[in-house]
Structure 1
Amino acid sequence: MAQNHAVVIGASGLIGWGVVNELLSHDYIAAGAFGTVTAIVNRPVNRDDMFWPSEHPIFRANDGDQEAEVEMNTGMMSRFIRTIESLAHAQPQIRRLPGEGTRGYGIYRPGGIFSAPLDESLIGTLPDDYAGAVAYPSSRRLLASASEGKPRTWREVCPDAVVGFRAQWQRAARFAIYAAALRPEACGGGKTFNAADAEGPGTVRERWPRIAAWFGCE
């Protein structure tokens, strides 16, 4: 079994959960790529709710409000780096792969900051008032400093849209709130509204074969 240890920070998020699930669901461990996978989250979670194929995941809990997000994440990254570097035997093998997002391009600011396409060269030109509101710039500085003069490096992956569900990033809820505020005379009023993913109705007879096939059944 390989001695490589995969540590996934933010393992309960959309990207982090998918990374851990991939590491545990496929042949990375069986093939000897990793001997251990550790999942780190910022608040306690129920292991069963994560639906990971693992018997002994390790969780680390932190908490903080929205205003303290940058300080919290920067502190976690700094402590993580110091902890990893304290493992002298692991020094030559350390690889860091932070997963960031398009928030680092300022897309959460109304109207945005940059015009598409979003090129990697833009990340270092965020205005100060926005750069201080996201943890990505400080994380990059920490990683660059920790790697300087050492035989290792780091890389950052910045995906566009990540398909998944998190309560605080519920796009459907945001669209619903916007629609209700946009046309108050047509929304609400004690009415019930059905929501569906297709214009035409469907039957269980039609859906069941597809559901069964998804699980490999007939």
Structure 2
Amino acid sequence: MLSPEREGERERERTPEHVGETHALTSQENGVVIIWFGANDAALETNKVQHVPVPVYTETLKTMVAHFTEAGVPSDRVVLMSPPPVNDATYMDQFCKPRSIDPVDRTRERTGDYVDACGSVAKELGTRFVHLYKAFAAEQEGLTPDSYNGLFVDGLHLSNRGQKVVSKALSATLKGEGEEQTDISPESMPFWFPHWSTLVAYDAEQ
């Protein structure tokens, strides 16, 4: 049996090889690939199972994007979504304390490093980018602390209200504005969302 540390390393090593089949997507002219990673990866070094160093996270995103663009998906049909912010106080009280996680293994500030890395990859590779950090900051303006807390279940995972913030930001990015306005209609796109277990089991030789 592998140690938790090695198990986490092995899973990260496998991830680029198991990002899934693309034939179902590339056959659709109006298909869009959405890549959303980082919330778990942004765990601090004390979380040896989930922590992924920023350079590894960056290279993994590049590998994922290349997987799709090399299969024929235009780069402007690939969307990178940044991780959302961590609500520090709520995360400590509602997630860490009940699980006896001490010290706290993730923070809003550290997550910002992964947000920046995701944005840099999007800019470098010419993909679309959904800046969820900014989207939640904009949503926070004018809200009471309790109301803002309602965007999260436990400071990390999003509530239904929080998911609506994500949906709004994603839809705006797909449609674009002004000269960057597109003909992409989220309502008309095919839905392709394979379960994570099928991606891990995917055989690259098939």
Flag whether TM exceeds 0.5 (same fold): no
TM-score (norm 2): 0.31
TM-score (norm 1): 0.30
- Which is higher, the Rg of structure 1 or of structure 2? 1
Which structure shows the bigger proportion of residues in helix conformation?
2
Q: Which has the higher contact order (CA 8 A, sep 6+)?
A: 2
